[in-house]
Amino acid sequence: LRNVSHIATANHRIRIAATVGARSKWMGAKQRALAEIESLDLFTKEDVDEFERHLGMREAASVVGMALSLRNVKGALANSAKVATAEAQAAFKSSVANKPSINRQKQAGHIKGTPQHKNRQKSNKPSSIFFGQKSGDHLTQEAFSKGNPVNGRPGVKDYDFGVSVGTGPNGGMQTRVRVHQDRKGQIHGHPSGPEKF
């Protein structure tokens, strides 16, 4: 019963964090719950960090919360932990597997300082840039997932984040990301839309 109580406490903390969605609350709940999660042999700190890196804060909280919920069953607690861990890891792998890969060559053309971006500048191609590779990759994947198809442009989607995602060719801030998917299924994105100064 002591283990069930620990699981319920950790699960409650994770669910609060997922509901509120505030990074500070998630970080606090994650830190408090990590010792309980690790002591029950569900996940390591590195597993939870990897979930967050690939899936984002809310989805990571949901995956961890799901594992803790599945773990909180009466009966053989040791078997439940293995089942919950396997299901959560399968959900994580499935989520990563369903994301198309990013075409590094084309994406790099929209990251300042890369050889590909320098080539675009030399050839006077108007080029918008993300603030960095990691944020550019994350925004590209999210825009692909949530974006609306562009009329008359097969394989192209736009998504407006409502906040600055990068800069346009004239140095103004842009809030949209346009994603292009090629015939191989790979994607690349770039900031787009009106520039705001």
The tens digit of pLDDT for each residue in 59-117 reads: 666 666 656 555 554 444 556 566 666 776 666 565 555 689 999 999 999 999 999 99
| Residue range 159-194, pLDDT digits in tens | 999 999 999 999 999 999 999 999 999 999 999 999
pTM above 0.75, yes or no: no
Whether residue 1 has pLDDT greater than 70: no
Mean pLDDT throughout 24-53?
Answer: 62
Which of 23, 70, 17, 21 is CA-nearest to residue 43?
70
| Residue range 6-23, pLDDT digits in tens | 555 565 556 555 554 545
φ, ψ of residue 130 in degrees (nearest 5): -80, 170
φ, ψ of residue 159 in degrees (nearest 5): -145, 130
Please tell me the predicted confidence (pLDDT) of residue 75: 43
CA distances in angstroms from 25 to 7, 48, 54, 58, listed in the order given: 19, 15, 19, 11
